[in-house]
Amino acid sequence: MKVTVDELQEHVGAEVTLSGWVVHNRPSGKVGFVIVRDGTGLCQCVVEKTRVSDDLFEALKHLGTESSLSITGTVRAEPRSPGGHELVVTDATILCPAVDYPITPKEHGVDFLLRHRHLHLRSQRAWCIGRVRHTVVDAIRRFFNDEGFILVDTPIFTTLAGEGEQTLFAVDYFGQPVHLAQTGQLYLEAAAMSHRKVYCFGPTFRAEKSKTRRHLAEFWMVEPEVAFIDLDGLLGLAERFVTAIIQAVLERNRSELQTLETDVPALERITPPFPRLTYSQAVDILRGERTARFLADELADLQRRLAKVETRIAQIEAEDARGGLKKWKQEKNAQELIALRRERIDLTAAIENNPKHAALAAEFTWGKDLGGSDETILSRMHDKPLFVTHYPKAAKAFYMKVDRAEERVVENFDLLAPAGFGEIIGGSMREDDYPRLAGRIDELGYNPEHYQWYLDLRRYGSVPHGGFGLGVERTVAWITGERHIRHCIAFPRMMDRLYL
Ligand code: 4AD
Ligand code: MG
């Protein structure tokens, strides 16, 4: 019977056929072990010389990584095997043998892996992250559907600059210069005046010239927009929304989180309410004693960790140099060294950055937008996502509603994910007053012709409304503990990367 690895528990004792790819092949004289993945999980297949033909034993023995095959055998419960079952092989058909698969267990640089993304997608980490992303996307849709939001698909070709003119991708649209949408929000505002609660969910484009770990040129964003809401209502919505996403992942992806070595208890702590700070309070914190102390403690901790890593590296290197190690021990050491050296690079970078970040924080002046390192500091001080509200008007997008009680700030918020991940949501109340909005568009020198329809929304039945946008890749990075968001989308687009 044909089954998949995730169904094996229902077939213990029975003979079944799996189809998949070879992850790892450990042949020996009498018994071979072939780890097979089939897209649903991993299964160890035990090939005993006495149970299969000589030809098959030989053929399986030489089968390379990522060869495809179908393999038949009896299912046995085996707690030590990945997935908890193994297959005692009786037969197999090799579909496509793979020779010299380019990705090997040895360390490959990020660049190499991204150039081999079409193959690297098969790796355990990429597989786990892909599944978590799937849950996140599904949870997003469910949340808004269950809350009575209407999905509105907004256009990708647009003449509007929703999020500033610095990051527009220009496109020739039948001879007219237009660009790719940075946000669906402005269109969504129009739709909210029809359905009251709406959301859009699609790819968005920003010509980000920075190559940071938080920026892609093409990323997926979900944006809800609600008529007759206030800032407090928006924060409540965002809080419930993020909690629902985390809950879904905890329910459905425990084993992936475990493989990814995610801090699961930290995710379990994510329950409403989330802490809130105004921008002005955040500035005081950044410039204050507490931040200076926090960063100094962190530096000491980083240095301690680096010293430990150095000691362990030296130990292993000495062990290797003495020689005479068994093959499995050599391999184990090699793997550990790869991980340790990677950690050494990260720690060294963090130690170098710490004083720079401390200086930036101490010298922060009111009026600037929070930078990546400022967000990192603030979000590291909290173990739940942190709302920062009421930013300076000058640092934010033209559509944000000016706070009538303090006109230098807007009614907006960013949600910073904990443990240093930084912004995952940006949102605001929208300026609903015609003269103020028209004035702002004028002030910024935007082409008023392009914004006439948007201004119409403030001419005919304007109401208080607002919304926010959550970046899918940043959310997946935070949840999985993946440092760089380029690993949180199947085929990342960045300034220096478009090969596949
Ligand atoms: O803060 P942003 O720019 O907000 C907007 O686009 C609003 N129009 C949303 C709204 O109010 N409807 O972007 C929202 C989120 C960010 O918090 C971040 O998670 C993600 O989109 N994001 C990016 N993700 C990856 N790469 C980039 N270059 C991103 N820029 C923004
Ligand atoms: Mg933002």
pLDDT band at 210 (very low <50, low <70, confident <90, very high): confident
CA-CA-CA-CA torsion for 320, 322, 328, 333, nearest 10 degrees? -20
Q: How far apart are the CA of 424 and the centre of ligand 1, in A?
A: 7
Measured in Å, residue 137 CA sits from the centre of ligand 1 at 16
CATH code for the domain defined by 118-275+382-488:
3.30.930.10
Nearest CA to ligand 1 atom 17: 425
Minimum-distance ligand 1 atom for the alpha carbon of 216: 26
Domains 5-96 and 118-275+382-488 share a fold: no
CA of 290 to the centre of ligand 2 (A): 26
How far, in Å, from the CA of 468 to the mean position of ligand 2? 9
Closest CA to 45 of 16, 81, 87, 15: 87
202 Cα–ligand 1 center, Å: 12
Which atom of ligand 1 is nearest to 167's Cα?
Answer: 28
Which atom of ligand 1 is nearest to 472's Cα? 19
Compute the average pLDDT of residues 148-170: 91
Predicted confidence at residue 120, as pLDDT, reads 95
Predicted confidence band at 162 (pLDDT cuts at 50, 70, 90)?
A: confident
Q: Which two tokens stand for residue 83?
A: 């997935």
Bridge partners of 204?
219
Question: Averaging pLDDT over each range in 78-82, 189-193, 327-331, which range is the top one?
Answer: 189-193
Could you tell me the sign of the dihedral formed by the alpha carbons of 309, 312, 318, 319, in that order? negative
- The per-residue pLDDT for 443 is 92
Question: Amino acid identity, residue 129?
Answer: I
**pLDDT, tens only, 363-390:** 999 999 998 889 889 988 888 999 999 9
What residue type is assigned to position 50 of the chain? T
Write the burial class of residue 224 (CB in 10 Å: 0-12 exposed, 13-18 middle, 19+ buried). Answer: buried
Mean local confidence (pLDDT), 461-489: 96
Check residue 371 and give its pLDDT.
86
- Determine the pLDDT at residue 46: 96
Please give the DSSP secondary-structure letter assigned to residue 431: P
The answer to whether residue 28 scores a pLDDT higher than 90 is: no
The pLDDT value given to residue 329: 86
For residue 59, give the H/E element and its range.
Answer: helix 54-61
List all residues whose CB is within 6 A of at least one atom of ligand 1: 162-163, 183, 185, 206, 208, 215-216, 219, 221, 223, 423-428, 467-471, 473-474, 485
Instruction: Label the pairing between strands 42-48 and 85-96.
Output: parallel
**Residue ID of nearest Cα to ligand 1 atom 28:** 215
How sure is the predictor about 338, in pLDDT bands with cuts at 50, 70 and 90?
Answer: confident
Q: How far is the CA of 356 from the centre of ligand 2 (A)?
A: 23
| pLDDT given at position 292 | 92
Sheet of 157-158: strand order equals 157-158, 176-180, 170-173
DSSP state of 422: E
Q: What average pLDDT does the structure give for the chain?
A: 94
pLDDT at 452: 95
Tokens 């190690």 belong to residue: 325
Fold of 5-96: OB fold (Dihydrolipoamide Acetyltransferase, E2P) (2.40.50)
Percentage with pLDDT > 70 across the chain = 100
Q: Which atom of ligand 1 has the smallest separation from the CA of 224?
A: 12
Choosing from 213, 375, 474, 475 the residue with most ligand 1 atoms within 8 A of its CB, the one to mutate for a pocket test is 474
Binning pLDDT at 50, 70 and 90, where does residue 250 land?
Answer: very high
Domain boundaries, the chain: 5-96, 118-275+382-488, 283-360
pLDDT classification of 165: cutoffs 50, 70, 90:
confident
CA of 470 to the centre of ligand 2 (A): 9
Contact 246, 267 (CB under 8 A): yes
Letter for the amino acid at 138?
A: D
Ligand that lies nearest to the alpha carbon of residue 485, given by its number in the listed order:
1
